Amino acid sequence: MSNQLTRRLALLDDDAHRALLGQGLRGIERETLRVDRHGLLAHTAHPAALGAALTHPQITTDYAEALLEFITPAEHDIGLTLNKLDAIHRYAYTKLGDEMLWSESMPCELPAEADIEIANYGTSNIGMLKHVYRRGLALRYGKAMQCIAGIHYNYSLSEKLWQLLLASDGVAAERRTALRDFQSESYIALIRNFRRYSWLLMYLFGASPALSTGFLRGRAHTLETLSDDTLFLPYATSLRMSDLGYQNDAQSGLTPHENSLESYVTTLMDAVNRPYPPYQALGTKKDGEWIQLSTNVLQIENEYYSTIRPKRVIRTGERPVQALCKRGVQYIEVRCLDVDPFEPIGISVETGRFLDAFLLFCALDDSPLINVTESAVHAGNFARTVKEGRRPGLMLERAGAQIPLQAWANQLIERIRPVAALLDEQHNEQYHDSGVHAASLAVQQAKIDNPALTPSARVLDEVRAIGSSAAFGLRQSALHAAYFRDSALMPAEAAMFDEMAAASLAEQAAIEAAPGPGFDEFVAAYNGSRLCCD
């Protein structure tokens, strides 16, 4: 264990400080396609009874009109967060009619590109901006790729905890900017450690070893054929996170340097402002209609596909990079988690407990800067794990040498163990529920010892037994639909969601009724907004 990790764990284990561990926040964003009873993409509009996708705080759409996104409020404990996510699912099912929520990350059998409808957000300038951005994604990446779903895990530690660590490092936290900068750089250090070790998450939680043949749209691949409608790789953990999932030539050379917040922001600023010739050839309009927001490498910062992002809640009219520049990093967003098709809400509380221990370990441990060579090594370990993670004897690279994935995974579990023990002490004091993080570690250890227990192996076993990835997805979707429909929300909960839906519709109507510039002028102002700090 590193000196820094040992020292920080001892500091936080003090009776006066342990409660700080329970003051951070956890939030979940779960994406899921609406499908009909045959498991085919729904062609209906976003249900008005769910509210307005533009303004609803918890129920919106992602890329496609049929791609729902559920966003929980932030809570201090992941158990509470997942209870909120469960309630959103139950409410949604009261408004879906015969439709269901798709149970997997990789899409159901998709129709022709022209028949996948991009999400609509109304007639306001901001609504059209969101829609045109998605038109640009269709041009750049194809619609099928945008129908992939995932789980995003939002994680923060309390400001008081950062203040304690700052003081313990021998720096007086008298100035607000000193704390802000320390907090930002500490989150960036967390991200560097995440880059080093996130292959472990793909081994433990990857759940997309197979996909429907039609997803590839004729693209070249090296997948094996399982059946007429299913392709797979025998040892894959997450094809969603492989080069068959989120990939694009323009972004292939985009590697933000996460050695400081400044270098991260500078890289994204450059990508948002740098023209990309193939996109320039397409232009921003066709026959007078907007087809993309710009012809640059990225239309907006959020187009950058990353397994983890530093984040800040943005203010009205503010862009994400501006928020980071002005007020620093507030939390991180983990974006590499597959939807777990065995869990009705797509993620288990056990997974959340492990993520909390893993991310706290990444935050507290030493995190040296990463050079270009090391960055390529980390990317290679991740890529190898998503395609071959369960291959017996698979080797990864560490410090210039080869190490078996299983051996390194065992070592990481042991390094995380005291972090989990500390979290269990705090959790027992606050919730009178002991050992939950250690129990999650034990479950993960069992997966390392026996790859057949991983979600990807279990999914592949089921797909092989049924003979079709789509049939497995449909079966799980139907099981989850029955689970939610058989247990209604309490009347007070349902009334709360009804009120949120009505308020969101009223808010969208007010936005659309408010005076504003023409859309061309609005886009020009948005694209021209300053992407740096004063």
List residues bridging with 337 in a β-sheet. Answer: 151
CA nearest to 304, candidates 315, 319, 316: 319
Q: Distance (Å, rounded) from C-alpha 407 to C-alpha 146?
A: 36
Q: Which pLDDT band holds residue 531 (cuts at 50, 70, 90)? A: very low
pLDDT at 173: 46
List residues bridging with 28 in a β-sheet. Answer: 153
Decide if 212 contacts 229 (C-beta within 8 A): yes
pLDDT at 176: 59
Q: Where are the beta strands (DSSP E) in 209-294?
A: 210-212, 224-227, 230-232, 285-286, 289-290
Lowest mean pLDDT among 23-32, 305-314, 401-410: 305-314
pLDDT at 247: 62
Q: Which pLDDT band holds residue 289 (cuts at 50, 70, 90)? A: very high
Q: Which pLDDT band holds residue 248 (cuts at 50, 70, 90)? A: low
pLDDT at 255: 67
pLDDT at 208: 98
CA nearest to 149, candidates 290, 245, 80, 85: 245
DSSP code of 171?
-
What's the whole-number mean pLDDT along residues 4-19? Answer: 95
Q: Distance (Å, rounded) from C-alpha 41 to C-alpha 67?
A: 9
Q: Give buried/exposed letters for 38-76 (b at 16+ CB in 10 A, else e).
A: ebebbeeebbebbbbbbbbebbbbbbbbbbbbbbbebbb
Q: Which pLDDT band holds residue 534 (cuts at 50, 70, 90)? A: very low
pLDDT at 319: 85
| Residue 280 three-state SS | helix
Check whether 343 has a pLDDT greater than 50. Answer: yes
Average pLDDT value over all residues in the chain: 94
Decide if 133 contacts 299 (C-beta within 8 A): yes
pLDDT tens-digit map of 142-170: 999 999 999 999 999 999 999 999 999 87
State the CB neighbour count (10 A cutoff) for residue 460.
26
Could you give all domains of the chain from N- to C-terminal order, each with its CATH number? 3-163+172-526 (3.30.590.20)
In the block, which residue shows the tokens 């991740």? 382
Q: Which pLDDT band holds residue 429 (cuts at 50, 70, 90)? A: confident
Q: Which pLDDT band holds residue 201 (cuts at 50, 70, 90)? A: very high
Q: Distance (Å, rounded) from C-alpha 291 to C-alpha 87?
A: 37
pLDDT at 502: 98
pLDDT tens-digit map of 107-119: 999 999 999 999 9
Q: To the nearest whole percent, how much of the chain has pLDDT over 90?
A: 85
Check whether 470 has a pLDDT greater than 80. Answer: yes
Q: Distance (Å, rounded) from C-alpha 18 to C-alpha 30?
A: 31
Q: Exposed, middle or buried by CB within 10 Å (0-12, 13-18, 19+), for 293? A: buried
Cα Rg, the chain, nearest whole Å: 23
pLDDT at 317: 72
Check whether 191 has a pLDDT greater than 80. Answer: yes
User: Which amino acid belongs to residue 375?
Assistant: S
What's the whole-number mean pLDDT along residues 67-91? Answer: 98
Q: Distance (Å, rounded) from C-alpha 322 to C-alpha 305?
A: 19
pLDDT tens-digit map of 33-45: 999 999 999 999 9
Q: Distance (Å, rounded) from C-alpha 223 to C-alpha 245?
A: 13
Q: Distance (Å, rounded) from C-alpha 245 to C-alpha 303?
A: 14
Check whether 174 has a pLDDT greater than 60. Answer: no
pLDDT tens-digit map of 14-60: 999 999 999 999 999 999 999 999 999 999 999 999 999 999 999 99
